[in-house]
Amino acid sequence: MKITNLGTSTQASFYVATALYKQMLHKKESKLGLATGGTMLDMYESLVTLLDKNQLDVSQVETFNLDEYIGLTAEHPASYHQYMNHILFDQYEGFDPLKCHLPNGAAEDPECEAARYESLLDERGPVDIQILGIGQNGHIGFNEPGTPFDSVTHCVDLTESTIEANSRYFDDKADVPKQAISMGLRSIMKAKRIILLAFGEQKKEAITQLATGNITPDVPATILHLHPNVEVYVDDAAMPDLS
């Protein structure tokens, strides 16, 4: 696994947006594994610019998001459905809503919904590129420390640190959902190519853990060492001191 410092988050975001753009350019029916979170905002903005300038046909592209909060409807402003609409699907015309998948956080039976989502991934996958952020505690998706490496899409109890980190998207910390449906670590590892992005001082410790090469469920992202095709892009602030 190569960790590459691309200097600024703007440069890294543009680089990764270009990778997604090229993937869709070369394969009309590309399958993309998408992530949400603050880290991804510039990347999607750059992607929309590239799509716009080149008027790429994305009608055959199929997308699969990593996760969704349990208890939020797709219309809730803090749901990941709304995040994706706002940042990508409403920004560039042509994505087919029927091909843009996220777990349904408002499903009556979340366990059943998790199983449905995993079956969908199995039927329609594997994804060509999976984009990932990383939590300060090393989580990927909502796979918190201790998540088994063989986990598939499942319901997750969010850790206090994740609830705290995500409270910035809610009016009140008490409104942050305590659970989510997340692709599991095994689901993520099925992707053909994985690109992880991490920016800022607050991600440096997690990237340092990743850089040690140790593989442990205590730092879920370290499972990526077992995947043959992973790229990690960081900015100056998130780059570990390797000396």
194 within 8 A of 225, measured Cβ to Cβ: no
What are the backbone dihedrals phi and psi of residue 12, each rounded to the nearest 5 degrees, phi first?
A: -65, -40
> What ranges make up the beta strands (E) of the chain?
2-5, 31-34, 62-65, 67-69, 100-101, 129-132, 154-157, 179-182, 193-198, 230-234
Query: 35 or 152: whose CB is closer to ligand PGA?
Result: 35
CB of 204 to ligand PGA, least distance (A): 13
134 versus 188: smaller Cβ distance to ligand PGA: 134
Which of 62, 139, 143, 231 is catalytic? The answer is 139
| CA-to-CA dists, residue 218 to 93, 97, 136, 209, angstroms | 41, 36, 12, 10
Q: Which member of 5, 65, 104, 137 is catalytic?
A: 137
Residue from 114, 121, 132 nearest 20 by CA:
132
* Residue closer to ligand PGA (CB basis): 58 or 87: 87
144 is catalytic: yes
**Nearest residue relative to ligand PGA (C-beta):** 37
SS3 assignment, position 225: helix
Interface residue list for ligand PGA (CB under 6 A):
37-39, 133-135
Residue 38 beta carbon to ligand PGA: minimum distance, rounded to whole angstroms:
4
State the minimum distance, in angstroms, from the CB of residue 37 to ligand PGA. 3
Q: Looking at 67, 68, 113, 235, which residue is catalytic?
A: 67
Residue 139 bears catalytic tag = yes
Neighbours of 1 (CB within 10 A): 18
Strands 67-69 and 179-182: antiparallel
Q: Respond yes or no: is residue 137 known to be catalytic.
A: yes
Q: Which is nearer to ligand PGA, 23 or 161 (CB)?
A: 161
Which of 113, 118, 144, 231 is labelled catalytic?
Answer: 144
Q: How far is the CB of 208 from ligand PGA (least distance, A)?
A: 16
Active site residue 122: no
Residues annotated catalytic, as ranges = 67, 137, 139, 144
